[in-house]
Amino acid sequence: MKALKLIGPGKIQIQEVPVPEIGPDEVLIKVVGAGLCHSDLHILHQGQDWPFFGTTMGHETAGHIESLGTHVTDFAVGDPVLVHAVWACGQCRPCSVGRENACSVNGSRNQFPLTPGIGADGGMAEYIKARAKHVDRLGAVDVVTAAPLADAGLTPMHAIRSVRDLLLDDSTVVVIGIGGLGHIALQILRATSRCRIIAVDIDEARLAAARRNGADQVLHAGSDAVRTILAESDNYGVDVVLDFVGAQSTIDFATGVVAPEGAIRIVGLAGGSFPFNASLEGEVLPWGVNVQRSYGGTPADQAEVLALVAEQRVNVDVVKYPLAEAQRAFDDLEAGRISGRAILVP
Ligand code: NAD
Ligand code: ZN
Ligand code: ZN
């Protein structure tokens, strides 16, 4: 079969490899679509020490069950399925209390849990194998556009669920970065809250898309946007900021507009930082602000986002590329030419 391998820093290549052989608890899935995440670009730009060269890329995968391991009883050949992006053990203490994204067996204090496309072969291929427990049946959800739900749907859902107590009818939430994750975050917020939603991006087309996806107000990123948000809130700030970029400018933005006792969720990985000093004066953050470095999500988050898609309250905006043209898709993502999510189709 054809598979897209990460072969070295900045280098991907389609290779001919054997179809995976499955164990008793696994299923083989014929891939229909594999989402291309901005994290795949971060991975592509890791240095020579990156431990996962040789892996098939892709942590967002949807397809049909092709064959079942001998112990698998809850799927049938042909079922449309979504492969999880977080391959947790399901049994450790974090997993048993619903924190599978912090699994202590398949992940560690410094490493997120096992992920297809990073530590194991992923979905940018004709077939992928996965443990049956890491697969969800898609039911009413369209398999052709489902792949991004494994991460671009899951991760915003997790971040939003973690701030739900702050999303009151008169709250304001700022969403920064309206790409693959951000455009779904807007729709989840619209479908599950009545709060006021402000979308921020550097790209006018993304801001136009943000309005279609539920934003009440759109702002071009920059210091004017900070001033606007503060002026509109009597200089007090907003309840929640979701940062799907994580650059220095967006973290400055988030800390610059969040209100006391508000929350910041930093999802993007663009290398920004902020100083934290436990001091009475000169602190960047207002008192009481809760900041989380948000990772992936849990099966409960996945189920909630799948339900919203099945009810057509969330729709993924996709652009399809043949798997053979993966390099073009990566180049287009890097150049900011993809609106919504790119899906590679084998
Ligand atoms: P994307 O490329 O689809 O979208 C990024 C968006 O951010 C684009 O609309 C772009 O115009 C906008 N943007 C870029 N720079 C900006 C700036 N300075 N100010 C405002 N907007 C800006 O990316 P994506 O796939 O949605 O991923 C977003 C980020 O989240 C990436 O860093 C990715 O690696 C990360 N990510 C993290 C997790 C996690 O679990 N923490 C999971 C998935 C993705
Ligand atoms: Zn991702
Ligand atoms: Zn676990």
In the predicted structure, residue 222 carries a pLDDT above the cut 90? no
User: Which ligand 1 atom is nearest residue 294's CA?
Assistant: 41
User: Which ligand 1 atom is nearest residue 340's CA?
Assistant: 3
SS (H, E, C) the chain: CEEEEEEECCEEEEEECCCCCCCCCEEEEEEEEEEECHHHHHHHCCCCCCCCCCCECCCEEEEEEEEECCCCCCCCCCCEEEECCCCCCCCCHHHHCCCHHHCCCCCCCCCCCCCECCCECCCCECEEEEEHHHEEECCCCCHHHHHHHHCCCHHHHHHHHCCHHHCCCCCEEEEECCCHHHHHHHHHHHHHCCCEEEEEECCHHHHHHHHHCCCCEEEECCHHHHHHHHHHCCCCCEEEEEECCCCHHHHHHHHHHEEEEEEEEECCCCCCCCCCCCCCCCCCCCCCCEEEECCCCCHHHHHHHHHHHHCCCCCCCEEEEEHHHHHHHHHHHHCCCCCCEEEEEC
Q: Which CATH class is domain 155-293?
A: alpha beta
Nearest CA to ligand 1 atom 10: 177
In the predicted structure, residue 78 carries a pLDDT above the cut 90? yes
Q: Is the CB of 85 under 6 A from ligand 1?
A: no
Task: State which of 175, 181, 206 you would mutate to test the pocket of ligand 1, scoring each by most atoms of that ligand within 8 A of its C-beta.
Answer: 181
Q: Is the CB of 298 under 6 A from ligand 1?
A: no
Over residues 126-155, the pLDDT tens digits come to 999 999 999 999 998 999 999 999 999 999
CA 59 / ligand 2 centre spacing (Å):
6
* Domain residue limits, the chain: 2-152+316-345, 155-293
CA 240 / ligand 1 centre spacing (Å):
17
CA 205 / ligand 1 centre spacing (Å):
15
What CATH number belongs to 2-152+316-345? 3.90.180.10
Over residues 149-176, the pLDDT tens digits come to 999 999 999 999 999 999 999 999 999 9
